[in-house]
Amino acid sequence: MKFLKHKVLISSVIFAALVLPLALQAQVDREALKQYNQERIDYNKSGMLILGSWAVGNIATGAVMAERTSGETKAFHQMNVYWNSVNLLIAGFGYFSAMREVPEDDLWATISAQNSIEKVLLVNAGLDVAYIAAGLWLNERGMRLDDEQFQGFGKSIMLQGAFLMSFDLIKYFVHNKHSKGLGKIVDQVNLTGNGLSLRWEF
């Protein structure tokens, strides 16, 4: 008898795990989800345009100033060019990827994409702190060795790391605020057929 009860309980859990997500998905406004995802994509495109503009500005300024200066200042501008050449590639790839992305109308894919972008931005912010620390170390080493190139490179890396940390944190807060809109879309969901009502909280 106990075995039968356990079997029924397990079957109920499996049924809920398989059927309830499908029922929940059916109740969600798909057009609202598409609009929500389009906004997330637009935020990403705007972010890549900002990063690309920063990169182009640094490359142009750095290329000119590196030819007109020497020593630590020359090294500073050289590293700005090197660093932002990579930034420009990242911005171009990110913008191209966002342009090709089709806004989803699936709830679970939407939740996954939203969680993913927020996690990536937090990880990036952590890496940015490491860049700043590396630049500080390189600058200090340059001072100890009286190496102007190390000092210039270190100050450039600190600047670029500080910009990227600000950039990633601002983007994180923008996306995090945007995530509240998803809660409104699925705030009240009624699953018909069995009288069960669910309230989704974010």
User: What was the pLDDT predicted at 60?
Assistant: 98
User: What was the pLDDT predicted at 4?
Assistant: 45
User: What was the pLDDT predicted at 92?
Assistant: 98
Please, what is the average pLDDT of the chain? 85
Predicted confidence (pLDDT) per residue in 77-123, tens digit: 999 999 999 999 999 999 999 999 999 999 999 999 999 999 999 99
Contact yes or no for 67/89 (Cβ under 8 A): no
